[in-house]
Chains A and B, each alone.
Chain A
């Protein structure tokens, strides 16, 4: 079974998968906005706690969330370190720590924002997002190309996985030189594969009377008033609370 990524699998299988898209976007998108706009110290902590609780409610293992956050964390930490130091040529030492507070605030915002964005990614399946985007008025060319890309990515990744396994079995990744050659061959094969894939698909679909219409379906889940009310009141609590706490 081809899977694009852990996030994609979870987005389709968690307890919130069949909630209305708008409800989830209000909640997770609101958390992203709160992470950016509220005073960072209570705000970032509150947003992070909200994300952790939401994951528990939606049945997303925290282990998965932390695994996902590992990569952006590298960027956040190095960016915050760079902000913390100050470089002054002609003075000794030329590098010194000056802005610890600002760096900590930046890291806090980064972690809270990334966690909230990850919550959005973990709860919203891409096809549903694209179907809704089309209905909201995003141009057809964007949504259709994107949904076709999404369908093709799983197949392409699967093909790549097998090609790479074949190369590994032939000692294709033994040493730097061979690794470079193997990766280059893999990239070239991916391009050839993408073209022949499209040609075969066109032949097969043409035989079935494909006229170029790409259907974007959503499951038409109803709004859940209780979920929405809970999300909005929780967001209000986070925003008002962090402004009050941050001001005092």
Chain B
């Protein structure tokens, strides 16, 4: 049996279809804008871009050997992303998913947004970050690409499980219980598949770097460095805000309590006569002071993280100008 992680038509309630479409939209728009910039460079770029897209479709049509003897298909997201970059991959991946619905009846039309989110947004970005981290950490391109492909396939499967669990929570144990069930059952097929995809991606990249004389930017390590356009940052931020607020809107009746309160509840159900054996040596004079201290802590943390990223970025840029100057 071919087992694809495409959510089938009719499997998501309309509210969730809409929500995931909205969550994927900013990334898809950013992806097509990057394609447009590339295409505006020249006529040949249009053909090359479309050809990369056809390559992404063909990758997902490859039959890969599976441990159980049946055959299956890779997502191709890892290999595609390492070769053409995450933003173009998001745009081309969206078209590939539309074509899979139109030409192969994999996935559906109302679930297209959810499928794009898991396979053309989360998959490529996870692959890209892992790949960049791997190559920055000194791994060879093929090894980093292989790991990136495996991790991104796993991330895609986890996101799909989350999407299904949110839409179909377990009546007894809620979203959490449902998530465990979906993750557990899909793990049977998806974990071996991710390993196979990682191995194949690593072998393919090694094959390309060893035997191909093509000038591929990602292969020769000349990934274009530059400041992020403000517009792209704004879109990404909008996406993050949407992702954070969507659960709040969708499950507005939920109770927001911390882990501490839950622990206290559990302790009192086990032993109703339990007395705390330790008191804090200082209690904040008021709730506002406590919130202020929390916010201060977060601000200091954000400052440290921002400083580290900023200095690393400056170092990287000065290293780049040094090499180009010499």
Contact = CB atoms under 8 A, between A and B. Distances in A.
Interface of A: 4-5, 7-8, 29, 32, 35-37, 68-69, 71-72, 74-76, 78-79, 81-83, 85-88, 98-99, 102, 106, 109-114, 116-118, 120-121, 124, 126, 129, 139, 141-142, 144-146, 148-150, 152-153, 155-157, 160, 173, 176, 179-181, 183-188, 190-195, 197-199, 201-202, 205-206, 210-212, 214
B11 A187 contact: no
Interface in B152-201: 164, 168, 170-173, 177-178, 180-182, 184-186, 196, 199-201
Contacts of B7: 75
Interface of B: 1-4, 6-11, 13-14, 32, 35-36, 39, 43-44, 46-55, 57-59, 61-65, 67, 76, 79, 83, 91-92, 95, 98-99, 101-106, 108-110, 164, 168, 170-173, 177-178, 180-182, 184-186, 196, 199-205, 207-208, 212, 214, 216
A211 B106 contact: no
A113 B46 contact: no
Question: Chain B binding site: helix, strand, loop or mixed by DSSP?
Answer: helix
A87 B2 contact: no
A195 B11 contact: no
B9 A210 contact: no
A193 B204 CA distance: 14
Given A113-B9, A124-B102, A201-B47, A184 B207 contact: yes
Contacts of B184: 87
B10 A114 contact: yes
A21 to B, nearest CB: 13
B105 A72 contact: yes
A145 B110 contact: no
Interface SS of chain A: helix, strand, loop or mixed? helix
A186 B73 CA distance: 13
Given A117-B109, A120-B109, A76 B8 contact: yes
Nearest to B44: A202
Contacts of A214: 46
A99 B103 contact: no
A112 B104 CA distance: 17
